[in-house]
Amino acid sequence: QVQLAESGGGLVQAGGSLRLSCAASGLTLSTYAMGWFRQPPGQEREFVASVSHFGGTTYNADSVKGRFTISRDNGMNTVYLQMNSLEAEDTAVYYCAASRKYLTAPRASAEYDYWGQGTQVTVSS
């Protein structure tokens, strides 16, 4: 059974940093592209960042470029999202997702096959 488990969310002051982790089980991480999405309060789910199977390709939403970094450790079956210079607008539930697409890092939620339950990130100003 495939499971994705996010962790690392919490409350942080604006300007601070936080690192989210996504531990995968029931799949070999190197065979999946991985992505992070978020859903701010009262808004639709949006793309944050994605990484291809071996980390060769990454994409970041314009809103987080220069502040967030996605990375993966296939040996640990874990994907990370390092978030720096956090802003109040980053407050959202953050979701980890896995995609069977290869040689790319999808940015559309419809391209993902498995999803975690999400972790809350709250940034206070």
Distance from C-alpha of 125 to C-alpha of 88, rounded to nearest angstrom: 6
Percent residues over pLDDT 70 in the chain: 100
| CA 54 vs CA 31, 45, 46, 69, 72: distances in Å | 9, 25, 23, 15, 8
> How many other CB atoms sit within 10 Å of the CB of residue 42?
5
Distance from C-alpha of 98 to C-alpha of 111, rounded to nearest angstrom: 9
pLDDT, tens only, 52-101:
999 999 999 999 999 999 999 999 999 999 999 999 999 999 999 999 99
**pLDDT for position 103:** 85
Q: How confident is the model at residue 50 (pLDDT cuts 50, 70, 90)?
A: very high
**pLDDT for position 58:** 96
**pLDDT for position 102:** 83
